[in-house]
Chain A
Amino acid sequence: MFAAGFSVLMLAFLLSLSRGKQAYEGFLRWLDGPWAVAVSVLILAAVLYHTATWFRLTTHIVEIRFGRRVAPGAAIGGALVAAWIVASAVVAYFHVWFWR
């Protein structure tokens, strides 16, 4: 639900980017304002809650076997959290520091 809100936000960002420098900088000014931050905080809180429930669900549903042994749910959860941290770091690197 709130992730779709992010889709709309990202779409608006890219739309302004496609309409040239002036439109893009106008959108950045809106992003700098209190409304954008309030909406983003709301989306972030909801999405982090979604991340927690999604990972908890996954540890219940997914069963990984090594021969006869079944990986414990905690291991799957740990791997998911590790993957999440790595993915976030990669995204942050490309979004903020790459090609500067």
Chain B
Amino acid sequence: MTAEGEPPAGPGGQVSLGEVLETSDRLEVLPRGRGRLRLRLPSPEPFAWALFSAGGFVAAVLVPVHVAILGIAFAAGWLPDDAFSYERIHRLANNPLTKLYLLALIALPLFHWAHRFRFAIHHQFGIGLKRLVAVGCYGSALAGTAVAAWVLIRI
């Protein structure tokens, strides 16, 4: 007997062609039968990771300055008087490029949160319910994105 997966040796240590073919046939040809033509749909996982990554980048690079301006500098009175006037901010936000930017600025961190929080629920809180958690997390991010798009269109 030869070891599993190795072609059997013929007389004098030589391997006959027939034996090689027989062995390789056994090893390489997929078994026929049911399930051979089953289609494998691509997983949406890479898409979630891409959004997670983009959101992490936006959160790291763009969010700090926005929080500092909107949340702290305005209340502290460090900004010029008319910087946050309704007319100016409305005009600024009415620009289509600004709207596109704001949509990305709001939506991408939401998807970053969704992906991160989904794994936190499983790994840190030890809760299963995979499908429910995924729908809840990505669903919230999608809902936030939809609300942001709706608000931006109405400005």
Q: Which residues of A pack against B, CB within 8 Å?
A: 1, 3-4, 6-11, 13-15, 17-18, 21, 24-25, 28, 31-33, 36-37, 39-41, 43-44, 47-48, 50-51, 54-55, 83-84, 87-88, 91-92, 94-100
Choose, from B5-13, B16-24, B72-80, B128-136, the stretch at the interface: B72-80
Interface residues of B in 40-99 (CB under 8 A from A): 55-72, 74-76, 79-80, 82-84, 86, 88-93, 98
Return chain A residues, CB-CB under 8 Å to B75: 31-33, 36-37, 40
Q: How large is the interface on B (under 10, 10 to 19, 20 to 34, 35 or more residues)?
A: 35 or more
Measured between beta carbons, the chain A residues less than 8 angstroms from B142 are none
Q: List 6 A-B contacts (CB under 8 A).
A: A7-B105, A18-B151, A84-B61, A92-B65, A96-B83, A100-B88
14 further A-B contacts with Cβ under 8 Å, apart from A4-B110, A83-B61, A100-B80, are A3-B58, A10-B106, A11-B106, A11-B147, A15-B151, A25-B86, A32-B74, A33-B75, A43-B71, A47-B67, A50-B59, A54-B60, A91-B69, A97-B80
